[in-house]
Amino acid sequence: ETGVTQTPRHLVMGMTNKKSLKCEQHLGHNAMYWYKQSAKKPLELMFVYSLEERVENNSVPSRFSPECPNSSHLFLHLHTLQPEDSALYLCASSQVWGRANTGELFFGEGSRLTVL
Amino acid sequence: DAKTTQPPSMDCAEGRAANLPCNHSTISGNEYVYWYRQIHSQGPQYIIHGLKNNETNEMASLIITEDRKSSTLILPHATLRDTAVYYCIVRVGRDSGAGSYQLTFGKGTKLSVIP
């Protein structure tokens, strides 16, 4: 138990569906992240929210839409995905001190997405 | 952030020390060395980090060479549960005042602990 909870753990969706991934952290952190891990590839950073503001967006297609309503919750809204978007989506949180990120990330278990 | 080089895989006998090397020859003076691991189908787990002194916690020890161009993560008594991919990452730390949030994961070292 890392203090970061992701739901659902597994999701199968068609290319025309709209679904959302949810992440909740119980650690009192003020930064949250979405990472993507495709088969046999390193983790790729997608989005970062710090103090509820998006601070990084690593050229992610618009079919992925993040939302951070408060410092404890992070969503990834999915629509018109492609089969190549099938991957493990990982949420993480960390504490930001002043303007500096600590580098110590706490990850959830991930949501395994399959796009048919 | 500086790049790192790790062997793709290693084996270790259960109960023995696992020594995982990492080269980071282009590391800058304000960059820390971080280690994470990822057990199959789980999220990565933070292990330890350091700047230039050796560090130890309940999970592992981190030995950083004097020139800081390489480091070794040591699991003193490896168990089957330590089988995982281990990632060595260098980046600016909390004291830098910098705003970078990027933690770049490479391919890591797949450690197999053998009974």
| CB-based contact B19:B109 (threshold 8 Å) | no
* Cα–Cα distances in angstroms (integers) from residue A17 to residues A47, A81, A88, A91, B62, in the given order: 22, 8, 18, 22, 46
8 Å CB contact of A88 and B41: yes
| CB-based contact A30:A97 (threshold 8 Å) | no
For B29-51, how does the pLDDT look when each residue is reduced to its tens digit (9 = 90+)?
888 999 999 998 889 999 999 99
8 Å CB contact of A103 and B94: yes
For A79-107, how does the pLDDT look when each residue is reduced to its tens digit (9 = 90+)?
999 999 999 999 999 988 766 666 789 99
8 Å CB contact of A55 and B105: no
A-B Cβ pairs (cutoff 8 Å, strict): 73
Average pLDDT in chain B: 90
8 Å CB contact of A55 and B101: yes
Q: For A49-59, what is the mean pLDDT? A: 82
pLDDT on residue B104: 84
- Higher pLDDT, residue A104 or B5: B5
pLDDT on residue B80: 97
By C-alpha distance, which of A115, A108, A114, A113 is closest to A33?
A108
Q: How many residues does chain A have?
A: 116
B101, B105, B109, best to mutate vs chain A, most A CBs in 10 Å: B101
pLDDT on residue A98: 66
pLDDT on residue B43: 93
For chain B, list residues whose CB is within 8 angstroms of any CB belonging to chain A: 32, 34, 36, 41-46, 49, 89, 91-108
Q: For B102-114, what is the mean pLDDT? A: 91
pLDDT for residue B100 is more than 80: no
8 Å CB contact of B49 and A92: no
